[in-house]
Chain A
């Protein structure tokens, strides 16, 4: 993402004034005092982002549906964050309050409003117009989506780590080809269990019927998630810590990061996700993540697994694990066995840990036998 000059961030393109939105008074959306000739006075009472936390006033008259649905979009509500962290929290009320303060400082500043997908770069990337204040129908992948979803999704998708995602590198597909407005604008639900629990969220089989002529598809049916065979190693984080520095500015430290690929058991097997085998990712939370705000805030850390369902955005047809049957069969390194999980976290992760006797055994007649088999002789 190329940095913007400070003045470019706020420089309105004159052509914007001739667009549907540019014809509306600045002050109708932003407030402030349009008559004042000096910055401080003009900005008094101004709203920098008129689309957050509520887009009704600025957009609702003309985009009624989008403004209403936004109230149910995870990009607005981040509704899954607090319950997820609270599961690990101490029951002590005072400690809970300290934890919430930490979450408010470090988690809830990252939301995508209409403006951050259609007008400006997100705050976390220090803002600035994408296109001279024009309201673009299609968000900008590099300057908007991956300005937030950068360190995992963005890097893996574009190949900053690994070989990239075949949909992007070979077929020129961007985020929006799989994540349409109908998903991102909010689905009307208010009880999302996690970020995958969104109506309209994509699945591989929306677009692909796995070819049954491929032997690996035929033998395994729907017992193995597509990701297990078609992903490359992906980022796993171990020790995210947050706090405020001596100037009171929020910082984030995540010193331990590893790229690997780990197969686990699906804890939520059901009609919607029938596969028994999935990929799992070590998520960054640590018992002392919020220690800056107080001691022993996450005393129930082991109430939730910290190896979680993963859907890396680095799909390839051929991967090191699917190149040969026995790169996977009998290859313990690829499976999340008990020895790879800290003893105190084994109970919480039990539903995803693979017992050693369930690792599929080596396929006897693969590889070696092919070589031993007599070559077909050609008479031509």
Chain B
């Protein structure tokens, strides 16, 4: 499968050069700790049942 790998990586290199994954809003937000902290303050805390007891 080596050739397939090499081929895909080549395609990828071109794709990266043009589309620039790094410019998306996903990247901007998910690499910014302060922005993430601010958003999390507005979200409800994750819910787990308080009734779970003992070990399994």
Which A residues have a C-beta under 8 Å from some C-beta of B?
6-7, 10-14, 17, 20, 22-27, 30, 32, 34-37, 39, 42, 61-62, 64-65, 126, 151, 235, 237, 240, 243-245, 247, 249-257, 284
Contact = CB atoms under 8 A, between A and B. Distances in A.
B48 A25 contact: no
B5 interface: yes
B33 A284 contact: no
Contact of A253 (B22, B30, B53): B53
Contacts of A26: 21, 24, 26-27, 30
B12 A27 contact: no
A235 B55 contact: yes
A130 to B, nearest CB: 15
B40 A62 contact: no
Contact of A10 (B5, B16, B30): B30
Nearest to A124: B48
A10 B51 CA distance: 27
Interface string B41-56: 0000011111111111
A34 B31 CA distance: 14
Q: Could you say which interface size class chain B belongs to?
A: 20 to 34
A126 B54 contact: no
14 contacts: A24-B12, A25-B19, A37-B25, A42-B25, A62-B5, A126-B48, A237-B55, A244-B49, A245-B51, A247-B47, A253-B52, A253-B54, A254-B53, A284-B56
Contacts of B54: 237, 252-257
Nearest to A34: B24
The 9 closest A-B CB pairs, nearest first, are: A254-B54, A34-B24, A249-B49, A251-B51, A251-B49, A151-B55, A7-B36, A26-B26, A12-B30
A6 B51 contact: no
Interface in B1-23: 1, 4-5, 8-9, 12, 16, 19, 21-22
Given A6-B40, A23-B12, A247-B49, A12 B31 contact: yes
B1 to A, nearest CB: 6
B48 to A, nearest CB: 6
B5 to A, nearest CB: 6
For the residues of B in contact with A, the DSSP-based class is helix
A214 to B, nearest CB: 35
Contact of B33 (A11, A235, A237, A249): A11
Nearest to A61: B8
Nearest to A126: B46
Nearest to A18: B22
Nearest to A39: B39
A308 to B, nearest CB: 15
Contact of B24 (A27, A151, A257): A27
Interface of B: 1, 4-5, 8-9, 12, 16, 19, 21-22, 24-27, 29-31, 33, 36-37, 39-40, 46-56
A34 B29 CA distance: 11
Given A61-B8, A245-B51, A7 B40 contact: yes
Contacts of B25: 34-37, 42
Contact of B21 (A24, A37, A64): A24
Nearest to B54: A254
B21 A17 contact: yes
Contacts of A151: 55-56
Given A17-B22, A30-B26, 4 more contacts: A12-B31, A13-B31, A64-B4, A237-B54
Nearest to B32: A11
Q: From A7, A37, A42, A255, name the one whose CB has the most chain B CB atoms within 10 angstroms.
A: A7
B8 A62 contact: yes
Contact of B52 (A23, A65, A252): A252
Contacts of A14: 31
Contacts of B29: 39, 42
B51 A253 contact: yes
A12 B31 CA distance: 5
A16 B40 CA distance: 22
